[in-house]
Every structure is written in C-alpha cells, then in structure tokens.
Structure 1
C-alpha cells in the first residue's frame, strides 16, 4: 500500500531536508508547499494521506494550518517535525489537535517507520469511528507465567494460541523466554528472524514492521520467536517490549506471551501489560513455595487481580492433592490441566500441538475449556464446574471404549 504525503515548510532548506529523508518505495511525495492558502488549495486538490510539516518555535501559521487540516480533513493525518522538542512546543501542538509530534528524524529508515506507524494507527482510529468498532478495546494480552521451569508453560501457551486461532481469532504468540525459549520447537517452525533482530533493526515499530519478523504457523498463529542464542537476550529491553506489545494489541484479538520462570524487567513489563495472567503451578512442595512467593510479589505489583491460577498435571497421586493447593498458596484454582505424559511428549517430539494431533484427548479438552473461558470475557465463567463435567465425560468415554475393545478382542 502506498502512503501519499505532502511536505510543508516555510524554510526551503527544511523542505529539502524533509524530502531527502523520505526514501521508501511505499511512501510517495505528492507535492510540497510553503504553507498558507496555497497549501490548503493543494491539499484539497491532491488529497494526501498525510501532511508532514516543519514546526519552528513561535510559528503560529503552521499551528493554524494544522488545526484546519485536522478539523476539516480528518482522513489526512498530520505529522509535525521539530528541531528541538520542548514542553512549550508540545503543548501548543496538542492544543492545535496534533498528537504526532516528533524530533527531526535521525535517519531515512527511522523516518519511514515512523510515517508508516502513524498512518497505520490513525487509519485504525478513523475506521473504528466510522464502523463503530473498537478494535484495540477488545484485544486481550494473556501472559503465561510460572514460578519454576518445567511446569508446562510453553505447552499451555502454544496449544492455547492454536486453539484460539481455530476459533477464528487473530492470534500472536510471543516468546519472551529470551535465553532458552523454544516455542519454535513446539510448533516445528524455523524462524528466519526473531525478537532479537526486531529490536536491533526497528526503531519505531508498526504492525507491518513487526509482522515481517514473525513466522506464520500452519494454524494461522503469528509467532515472534525468542533469540537463537542466549547472549542476544540482553538486547531486548523492557522499553522495546512495551512498544512491541502496544503495536500487537492494536492488531491481534489475542496476544499470548510465554515467559521465563523469573521476574526480569521484561517479564514484569509483560505482566503489567496483560489483561490476564495464567499463573501455572504444580503439585510438589518446591513449586508451591515458589508460587506462593511469586503471588505475593504479584500482589505488591498490584497485578494479583489479573491472576488466574492453573494447576498443571493435576492428578491426586501424592501427599499434596489438588484440593490442598488453594489453601497452601492462598489463591483460588481457576482451571486444572490433567496429566497425560504420552500425549504431551508425542506432540512435542512431532512438533504438532496436541489440540491438533489429539483433539479428543483430555489435555486438548482442558485447553479448549480455558480458551472458551477467555473468549467469554467474563470472570463469572464457571470453568471449574464445566471442566470437571467435561473431563469426567471424556474419561468415562475412554474407559467404555477400552472395555468395548476387551470384550470384542480388538487390538
């Protein structure tokens, strides 16, 4: 898609500089002007997607022109470039209705990415108003977290993402286990680029830039993989992750985030950006101790209200039962995932999520219940009752089938 722009500045030197900084095949300069009435006439004639103007200190003409464009031509987006950003200039620009105000670009690539980002975000806003839709409002960011490794976080995250995609939702899956993330193994994909390349090469993210670094799984899930080597983890800052999630939540219905079992700056950013935190725990005393400490930290971060506790491999075969978990760590159980080692390991080794390879298994049905609960968007979704009935029905069905095979001497 081409973005048609018009460049305006009283200063010929700045006009030339701005034009020279626009060097991208997707951005077309339709015209230029020094401002005033001629600029308005040209905008009316050529109908640019975007007007880029240089704003110097005390330039009321540019602010007046900005106000008229924003008021009379809402589909023409305005970018104001300033030599040196200060509070006074910013306040005046905001009063004129402009909210895309930035310093003079450092490079052509950075400028092109900023233009595309503004165009994309403003287009979503205008379309949302016209169609009476609220795209970003309905987006859900779901972080899967656990206080210890080996809890099955990645298994839950990948299968949940695929199940949501099966339900015709736009889903992004982000691997923020930056040192040892292995979502690509669970999905049997080989990414050309990862989040490490993304943060090094993209200065101002927009959805087109982000998607160019993602790998599309056969289920339709768009995956942003962890770095290919642990040493690249330090390149990914909390600020970069915050910008990334802000872009993703404007485009996808669900953003599923897999995390490491530690409270890094990046993990905390993901937690704070989430609408729901799927907190995974298990049935041994070490896991429960760490879970209790982690929930206490979630509380201090004022994030505990987002937590939905999931007990994975929920089988009462030890001295600690599923019923004990709630009293031990002081948080109600939201969902239980049964234990099925063969289904889970076979799916991992084949690189095919079990919601695809074994859709009738108890594991798949439990993930489907979690997906339905998220889709309902209600905290009143009685997941525990529904889960117990559905899993029991599946278990009874499997028992009856085995009995039928014995009676009929089936192999």
Structure 2
C-alpha cells in the first residue's frame, strides 16, 4: 500500500523536521510522499483533489485549536476511508481527552523519541489499512446491492438517546418512543449501542439469535452486508439489532462499523433510534455525528443535573449544541427543585417532560412489554406517545391501522369457561 503524508502546520520548519524523522524510521522514504500545507483551506483543497490513502499530520498551528481542526476533518471525512489523522503538538498543548473527542489515532510531541514516533506511524498505517480493507468490502457490497435492489430507498431520521449516568430511564424511554412511532405505522429500527451491557432485548422480551457482533463478524467478512437477518422483529412492529452477548466483544465493534450500520438502516427505515451508554467512546461519537436529534435524558436529582451540564458543555465543544434536546424523565417537582431551577442549571430549555409512574414502568419492564402497549391509558404512556410524535414531522405520521372488531358469538354465554 502506497501511503502519502499530508502535513498541516504554520511552521515551515516543522515539515522539514518531520521529513527527516520519517527518513530515520522508514528507510527508503521518499520526500515526494510528503506534502506540506500551511492553512486549513489548502488542506481541504488537497483532500478534495486526491483519493490516495493519506496520513494527515497536524502540527503547531496559528489561529484555531489543532483539536478543533482535527475534529472537523475527521467528522467531515467520516465516510472517507482513505484518511487518518495524527497530532504532533508542543508538550503543554497535549490533551488526551480532546484528542479522543477529535477522533485522532494518536498524539505526540513535536520532537518525540524515535520509538514513539515509529509506534504512532505503525498504528496510523494499520488503522488506514483496516479502513481500506473494510472499504473494499463495503464497495463490493454496495455494487451488489444496487444491482439487485429496485425498491425505493428511504432516508431515515436518526435519533440518539443519551444520558450521562445510568438509572435515569433512557433505555426504557427509547424503547417506548420507538414502539409509539411504530404504532403510527412508521418503519422503526433501534440500535442497541450499549455494546457491553445493552438491555433493549430485555425490555422487548425478545431473545436475539444474532447481534451486531454477528453482523460485523459474518456479514462484512462474507462481503454480504445484509442487515435484515440480524434484526430482531418485535410484535409492535419495531425491529432492533442487539448488543453483543459478552462485554468483551464490544472492543471488536469500531466506529466505521457503526457508520456503515447506520447508513444501511437509513435506507430501510423511517426512524432509527440509537440507545447509547453513558460514555463518549468512538462508537458513540459516530452516532452523535450522524444524529438529527440528540435527546439528553435527565431527571430530578443533582448527580444527573451535574453530569447533564458537563455533557452539554462537551457537546458544545464537539459542535453538537444545535442537535440537543433536553428530556426530563420521571418529572415530579420536589422541594428546592423545580423546572425553572433545572433550566437555570443546564442553561437550556426543557424540550419534553415525562411524568413519574414507578408502578406502571416497573411492571412494563418486568413483563417485557413497552408501557405504551401494556398501559396505554396511563398518563406516562399518553405523554410518551405525544413526545414520540413530536420527534417527527407531522407529514410522516401515518394513520393507525383500524383494529378489527371481534366477531359476535350469539350463544357464547352458554359456553363452558376454560
């Protein structure tokens, strides 16, 4: 594999030094494989005019934060499998948390030890090779499917349910919102992206025969890519793809896998609901990037509000502020805390309020039947139905199928009871 190096730095000497470092760790390295630019605009022009696999190295820059530049590039090019990003900064600039959010493969100082530089390059090249391999499979699959698929494709809306701590009812709400939309005759898919401890099958009382792990392992390896055999169908009309059966399998699911899964489901469903874990790992960041709406679920307790505020600040850093809607679950005002105080803490208006109804919800969970089905007349079910409908444009809501009336049996009163 021929790999080029594209360097962005406002310091011309950085590119010269980098070329020398590359020659030291890669015998036979040709300087012609390294292209240097000094501005973001020039970098974007280079990326638009070349499809050659490249490792982008961002060095010291004037103006914008290198982390912002890296994040913009990685998010702008999430569908491009020919590019990975490496950061090389001054020691005082290094921030591992921001590097994670930016989606880079590694971060180094501008003058790293030889073994660290070599290790980072190997990691970047391995990541690039894996992306290219997956891309070849994906393109073969896309060509195969486009030749066979004559049905009109959908362009599904992506809704991500997010929380910063467990126990706020996020998964319960996502499952019931999905069921509510399915009752409106929309094609709804749920991705259980809590890859270590997902509970979506439990709430639907469905044992998955296959999971996202099986799809990644079998379908992509065989260049088939068909998602449908891995979707679990619930009687409500909702279909979901389950998390892996064992927590350790989560490591085998990458951001690229999640991106491809979302792309496939967008073609087949009106709504894709993604239930996420309370962490900002790579797979979550990909889902957030694809999201049309990000629903941050919080509740009337201080830890949830504190973490909610941190999440909002982080989302602002990632550029997701406009997508976020705050949902207050288990709404029950208490002494010293009301809606106004919550909005003041979060600095954002509440989008929806779901009332507290412990008995209805816990009974629903224990039965494995969403409460919008098991208890449709309760306030929590009615509110959740309205909340779900507010997530889609009125034109997409379809009339519910009329329920068939039971046949009358004239002499049923005389039948023996079972």
TM range (shorter): 0.5 to 0.7
175-184 or 199-208: bigger deviation: 199-208
Q: Which residue of 1 aligns with 2:260?
A: 243
Cα deviation, 1:75-100, whole Å, max 9, x if unaligned, reads xxxxxxxxxxx958xxxxxxxxxxxx
Contact 1:205 1:244 in 2 (8 A): no
RMSD across aligned positions (CA): 2.7
Q: Which residue of 1 aligns with 2:271?
A: 254
> Does residue 135 in structure 1 map to residue 154 in structure 2?
yes
How far has the Cα of 1:308 moved from its partner? 0.9
Query: 1:367 and 1:309 mapped to 2: Cα distance?
Result: 14
Give the secondary-structure state (helix, strand or coil) at the position aligned to 2:331: coil
How far has the Cα of 1:118 moved from its partner? 2.4
Q: Which residue of 2 aligns with 1:383?
A: none
Q: Which residue of 1 aligns with 2:55?
A: none
Give the secondary-structure state (helix, strand or coil) at the position aligned to 1:209: coil
Q: Which residue of 1 aligns with 2:408?
A: none
Query: 1:204 and 1:248 mapped to 2: Cα distance?
Result: 19
Alignment match of 1:368 (pick from 385, 390, 393): 385
How far has the Cα of 1:375 moved from its partner? 2.2
> Does residue 117 in structure 1 map to residue 142 in structure 2?
yes
200-209 or 344-353: bigger deviation: 200-209
Q: Which residue of 1 aligns with 2:237?
A: 220
Q: 1:220 to 1:207 in 2, by over 3 A?
A: farther
Contact 1:281 1:311 in 2 (8 A): yes
Give the secondary-structure state (helix, strand or coil) at the position aligned to 2:227: helix
Query: 1:290 and 1:377 mapped to 2: Cα distance?
Result: 33
Q: 1:239 to 1:340 in 2, by over 3 A?
A: same
How far has the Cα of 1:176 moved from its partner? 0.4
Q: 1:275 to 1:206 in 2, by over 3 A?
A: farther
The correspondence of residues 261-272 of structure 1 with structure 2, limited to 5 A, is 261-272=278-289
272-281 or 206-215: bigger deviation: 206-215
> Does residue 172 in structure 1 map to residue 197 in structure 2?
no
How far has the Cα of 1:367 moved from its partner? 1.1
Query: 2:139 and 2:323 mapped to 1: Cα distance?
Result: 33
Contact 1:280 1:310 in 2 (8 A): yes
Query: 1:113 and 1:270 mapped to 2: Cα distance?
Result: 19
Q: 1:249 to 1:122 in 2, by over 3 A?
A: farther
Q: Which residue of 1 aligns with 2:349?
A: 332
How far has the Cα of 1:244 moved from its partner? 0.7
The correspondence of residues 8-407 of structure 1 with structure 2, limited to 5 A, is 87=51, 115-121=140-146, 135-136=154-155, 139-203=156-220, 209-376=226-393
How far has the Cα of 1:374 moved from its partner? 1.5
Contact 1:338 1:366 in 2 (8 A): yes
How far has the Cα of 1:209 moved from its partner? 1.5
Query: 1:242 and 1:117 mapped to 2: Cα distance?
Result: 14
282-291 or 341-350: bigger deviation: 282-291
Contact 2:140 2:223 in 1 (8 A): no
Query: 1:112 and 1:229 mapped to 2: Cα distance?
Result: 26
Contact 1:185 1:351 in 2 (8 A): yes
- Please list every run of 5 or more consecutive structure 1 residues that lacks an aligned counterpart in the other structure: 1-85, 89-101, 103-109, 129-133, 379-411
Structure with more relative contact order (C-alpha pairs < 8 Å, separation 6 or more)? 2
Query: 1:291 and 1:115 mapped to 2: Cα distance?
Result: 42
Q: What is the TM-score with the length of structure 1 in the denominator?
A: 0.61
Q: Which residue of 2 aligns with 1:393?
A: none
